[in-house]
Amino acid sequence: MEVSSDAEGSSDFTRDFSIEDIDMSLTRCGLLPERAEELARLYQEHGTWKHVKEVWFGERIANRSTRDSSQGIYSVLTSRFKQAPSGLPRPGDLPVVLDMCSTSRDKAQVLYPYLVADDALMQYVVCSYSNRFSTGSSDSVDFSNESLMGILDGFEQVGGAPLDYADSTLQRWCKGFRSVMRKIGVIESEQSVTGSPPMIGKVPLLVAVGYSYDDSDDDWFRSPTGLQYLFQPGSRWNEFYDRAAETDAWRFVELHGSLRLRPEEDPYSWIDAEVDE
């Protein structure tokens, strides 16, 4: 069903960035879906991050893992959950959401927006690439070091100061970025550095639409953050809205002579429905 919007060609997808927001956490902790899922399950079980931390480190020390390496991973992954925008599923609900996923790629796509929302440099680069897809200017994008470094060089124009890191550190960051892209299906093979819009399963679609709905105003469908993070071109947004409306969670309503996609209750009532079944 055609939603009344100028989605094709819409590119209102910008964020404010400053050099103070930037760190290199991606060089030491990528997406790590399995460990992120483990933390989410611990949080669901224990209810507080204090208890999660005790169990997390207790298990790793028993298994002879170094506390320093475990601390770094724990800090980065829990930051993504603690600072998560309200438009994403709550950490305690994530195990239910992840259990509904049919593939490891689906799980990665569910966890991916937590990373992007928490990591300002990741978000800056994702937004730069997403704008190219959203405007329909490209079906595939180069994620080589040269292309990524070119975008990173442009940060000075946005943040007011250049990135003061060694080239070797920035190259490790680029490698980490490509690793995330492979996890979510944007890059298909270990050898390739070219990316294209990935397939999106039902569960990550519901998360992407829910995030988009919460992240903007009534015209959210003109610039759907969740779909843009997944590099989906504007020409496909209506297709995803149709898919969402085919579930029990979303429906089309007519407002002021135009169709709008709205949740049946709240964007994540489908999680509660899954628990009740």
Q: What 3 state SS string does 230-270 have?
A: CCCCHHHHHHHHHHHHCCCCEEEEEECCEEEEEECCCCCHH
259 occurs within a structural domain: no
CATH classification at residue 190: 1.10.3540.10
**Residue 269: predicted pLDDT:** 92
176 occurs within a structural domain: yes
39 occurs within a structural domain: yes
263 occurs within a structural domain: no
**Residue 260: predicted pLDDT:** 86
**Residue 10: predicted pLDDT:** 43
87 occurs within a structural domain: yes
**Can you give the residue range of the structural domain that contains 179?**
19-195
**Residue 5: predicted pLDDT:** 47
* Matching residue, tokens 């299906």: 185
181 occurs within a structural domain: yes
247 occurs within a structural domain: no
Structural domain count of the chain: 1
**Residue 7: predicted pLDDT:** 46
**Residue 87: predicted pLDDT:** 94
**Residue 162: predicted pLDDT:** 79
270 occurs within a structural domain: no
Residues of the chain with pLDDT under 50: 4-12, 61-62
pTM: 0.90
